[in-house]
Amino acid sequence: MYELSLLCPEDRVEALSDALDALDALSVSVEDADAQTEAEQALFGEPGMPPPKDGWQRSRIVALFPTEAAAREARQLLQVQDFFEGCHVLGVAPVQDQDWVRLTQSQFTPVDITPDFWIVPTWHELPPQARTSIRLDPGLAFGTGTHPTTRMCLRWIARRGAGGAALGKVLDYGCGSGILAIGAAKFGAVDIDAVDIDPAAVESTRLNAQANNVQLRAGLPDQVAGPYQTVLANILATPLKVLAPLLCSYVAQGGHLVLAGILERQADELKEAYAPWLPLQVADSEDGWILMTAAR
């Protein structure tokens, strides 16, 4: 396999990408040509920030071709096109053979939630200090334990469960991979509903629960049957505000609401959105994200 690398200004990226597709490139990727320099540009803002730019000032386009001849032919055809003006060929080079499965797996290592509670991919040995663990591989649904929002939710579950306080009946709303529901089961919950609007997430939750030998009910949101002693929702601030009356209605007397997917600067707007039903407070923070909880 060979890669053709090109350098182009922002206004030529779309035309070049389309042309490479038409030339039967196996894949086309675009990256900031100034990445890891002082000129690097961030494109994707957090929720609530101004809309991102459409592209970088200078982009590096990399197209993969099955043979060197195909890559060189594509280079020659592109160089004579009007839309190639201002663009440059960086080169044609072979792609080194790699064990892509092993390379991908190397990016996912065991994650410690507390000193004795770990999230561990199936291809890793359990750390010796892991008294409690969840076996979880990256998949189609959000939730591998690496994101701060997931870690904060799991820490809350672990501390409450390990401290002897029963989690009671649990709802994981927007369950993704099912990691929070599985975590609740690992810390003593036996009556658990995990729901998501994405059927792929529901199936992922069922498979991950089976792999971890825990029992839960996974399905679409219409299966929710409250009230619950623990309601978990790790989504994002905007849907959490819309869902405020619904999520609060699921919380039983004496129960807890645990919300994540919230940036530090969004704390006040979440408190205001939930104020008619429950008093939210910041319970944890990590890397600019916060965990908010309330008790009925």
The separation between the first and the last C-alpha atoms of the chain, rounded to the nearest angstrom, is 60
Q: Do 2-94 and 106-295 come out as alike in CATH topology? A: no
Query: Is 213 labelled a binding residue?
Result: no
Contact 48, 237 (CB under 8 A): yes
pLDDT tens per residue, range 145-156: 789 999 999 999
Per-residue pLDDT tens over the stretch 201-238: 999 999 999 999 999 999 999 989 989 999 999 999 99
Average pLDDT over residues 234-252: 96
Fold of the 106-295 domain: Rossmann fold (3.40.50)
Strands 2-9 and 217-219: unpaired
Indicate the pLDDT class of residue 52, thresholds 50, 70 and 90.
Answer: very low
Rounded to the nearest 10°, the torsion over CA 122, 128, 132, 135 is: 0
Phi, psi of 209 (to 5 degrees): -65, -45
Average pLDDT over residues 62-74: 95
| 150 labeled binding residue | yes
pLDDT at 184 exceeding the cut of 90: yes
Q: Which CATH number fits domain 2-94: 3.40.630.30, 3.30.565.10, 3.30.70.120, 3.20.20.370?
A: 3.30.70.120
**What's the confidence (pLDDT) of residue 219?**
96
Check the annotation: does 193 bind a ligand: no
Domain locations along the chain: 2-94, 106-295
Query: Residue 83 — pLDDT band, cuts 50, 70, 90?
Result: very high
Q: What is the mean pLDDT of residues 96-123?
A: 77
Q: Are 209 and 182 in contact (CB under 8 A)?
A: yes
Is 70 exceeded by the pLDDT of residue 182? yes
What SS3 state is found at 76? helix
Q: How many CB atoms lie within 10 A of CB 277?
A: 17
pLDDT value, residue 46: 47
Q: Which of 115-119, 163-167, 168-172 has the lowest mean pLDDT?
A: 163-167
pLDDT-derived band at 137, boundaries 50, 70, 90: confident
Nearest-angstrom CA–CA distance, 37 and 130: 40
- For the chain, state the CA radius of gyration: 24
Is position 234 annotated in a ligand binding site? Answer: yes
